[in-house]
Amino acid sequence: MDNRLKTSLGSWQLDNPVIPASGTFGFGYEFAQFYDLDQLGSMALKGTTKDPRFGNPTPRIAECAEGMINSVGLQNPGIDAVIANELPKLKQVYHKQAIANIGGFSVEEYAEVAKKFDAEEQIALLEMNVSCPNVSHGGMSFGTDPDCLKEVIRAVKAVTHKPVYAKLTPNVTDITVMAKAAEEAGADGISLINTLLGARFDLKTGKPIIANVMGGFSGPAVKPVALRMVYQVYEAVQLPIIGIGGIRSSEDVIEMMSAGASAIEIGAQNCVDPYACMKAIDGLIPLMDRLGIEQISDVIGRSHR
């Protein structure tokens, strides 16, 4: 791997900034049939909860002109099965550390999942999906209430030695309020954005295409929103940022890092092209040469300078 692509998330150094996003890459090993996974910067594993979850009723995917809507509902085998079965399978084909994405429906559930991942050497950092509904507070998302967000981050920080990144929902009035709350609670970094809220309707029947009516909208169409929010959060806090949202090319990687991201995650594009992450990595050095960029880390936050 070319040293020019090295970047860091806090004290963790990555060979390159490209990470498959949680939810679009399974637990990683499925993609080993396509390429050597060790070429990735890292990978964010499928969102994991305390108990196994079957997920939401089908249909739960709807295509859009420039993206997709999903309402998968955190389908996963639960933390114990992930540790017992998924991580060992991944270890056979991937020899770096990964990012665990954790979800929950109460503060206690987040803490329990975090504590179990804390013992796993394969996991470098914990990415908290705070878009989950908080059943103790009337179903409002953890990520839309600053006090709620602080409470859950503090609970997770109390049980882990690993860095904790808050994956923020864009479905708020002011993203910087949530980012500052995460920083105040002790978060080590910010991942953003999670999906926007969207819907599609069948032309013949007028009925919603998604069984739950609404779902998370992702894909190329959300990139300008993601760029704007990464830019705002970079100005608001002193934490490393993983930029997510509509990234599908080397050009998108450079643009997102210019806005302030230290690394990026590619999500929806993996559903379209299983080679998406490798194509983005392979195109970076030629693109950097064309743009006169020596080290990719040089572009982080350059839009602010």
Coarse DSSP helix, strand, coil percentages of the chain, rounded to the nearest 5 percent: 40, 20, 40
Q: Are 109 and 74 in contact (CB under 8 A)?
A: no
C-alpha to C-alpha distance for 100 and 58, rounded to whole angstroms: 26
Residue with tokens 């002109």: 65
Residues with catalytic function: 132
Neighbours of 246 (CB within 10 A): 25
C-alpha to C-alpha distance for 160 and 169, rounded to whole angstroms: 23
Residue with tokens 């490209």: 18
Give the distance from CA 271 to its chain's centroid.
15
* Residue 279 exposed, middle or buried by CB count within 10 Å (0-12, 13-18, 19+): middle
